[in-house]
Amino acid sequence: MLSLLFKLGRSKSSLEDSVIRIQNGDKALQNELIEKYKPFVAKSVSSVCKRFISEQDDEFSIGLIAFNEAIEKYSTDKGSSLLSFADLLIKRRVIDFIRKEARVKTIRMDSTDIEDDSYFTKIESKQSIDQFQQSIEQEQRKDEIVRFQKKLTEFGLSFNEIVDQSPKHADARLNAMTIAKIIVEDDSLRSSLFEKKQLPVKKLEKVVDVSRKTIERNRKYIIAMTLILSQDYLYLKDYIKGVLGE
């Protein structure tokens, strides 16, 4: 397993090249890649289920479908490697599956006679499932923040800086997030930011109704919000979209 993981790390570019070929119709290569990365899928699924996962488990099948989905949907514009994207998608799909199974069990529980001796045991089981889901989500939030911190360092920023320099007023934060959304949706602005690792202030002045001074003052915060909106940060992105009213 370790040798495979090290090999995966060294072959990143060839992996992305393979995905392009698959997306262009190479079905044989697609089947080959899925077979080769079954250990990776099992590892991602196991990290969610907190137990060993074999190819006979339903969760493994869900993970395999998600990996195939990642291959078909992956784009270098997402700002992450295929494996990072696939790992996130696999975990999401497995969690969705667990939640769906939990809902089915709840429906069955609701139809059970309350005088049944096993009723309270089933209630406890439901609570355990809920606690399990919460623990998984908490772990994913932590992982997401760690990934975000690493991405910030590429732009010469730190998580603490972003927290300390966050605009104090809600309107100012909303304006900064709106600017970040404009950057994400504009190919020229987004490319400039990711290539130069600097905010394209002059270009921004031409497309936003905000002074240069305001842009400069909130520069670090705008960059951070742009990174979140343009990449795979599920929980952080949900927060921003909530503020933007989307």
Task: Note the pLDDT of residue 166.
Answer: 85
Task: Note the pLDDT of residue 7.
Answer: 37
- Name 230's Cβ contacts closer than 8 Å, sequence gap at least 6: 79, 184, 190
Task: Note the pLDDT of residue 180.
Answer: 92
In a domain, 138, yes or no: no
Does pLDDT of 223 surpass 90?
yes
Task: Note the pLDDT of residue 103.
Answer: 66
Domain span at residue 16 reads 2-111
In a domain, 228, yes or no: yes
- Would you give the distance in Å from CA 54 to the centre of its chain? 25
List, in sequence order, the alpha helices (H) in the chain. Answer: 2-10, 12-23, 27-36, 38-49, 58-73, 82-110, 119-154, 159-164, 170-185, 187-196, 201-207, 212-217, 219-230, 234-244
CATH code of the domain containing 23: 1.10.1740.10
* Co-location of 32 and 104 in the same domain: yes
As a whole number of angstroms, the distance between CA 154 and CA 173 comes to 23
In a domain, 137, yes or no: no
pLDDT tens readout for residues 134-193: 666 677 777 788 888 888 999 999 888 888 878 888 888 888 889 999 999 999 999 999
The least confident of 53-67, 156-170, 194-208, 229-243 is: 229-243
**What average pLDDT does the chain have?**
78
Confidence of residue 243 (pLDDT cuts 50, 70, 90): low
pLDDT tens readout for residues 77-112: 655 678 888 888 898 888 888 878 766 555 454 444
* Co-location of 75 and 175 in the same domain: no
Task: Quote the number of domains for the chain.
Answer: 2
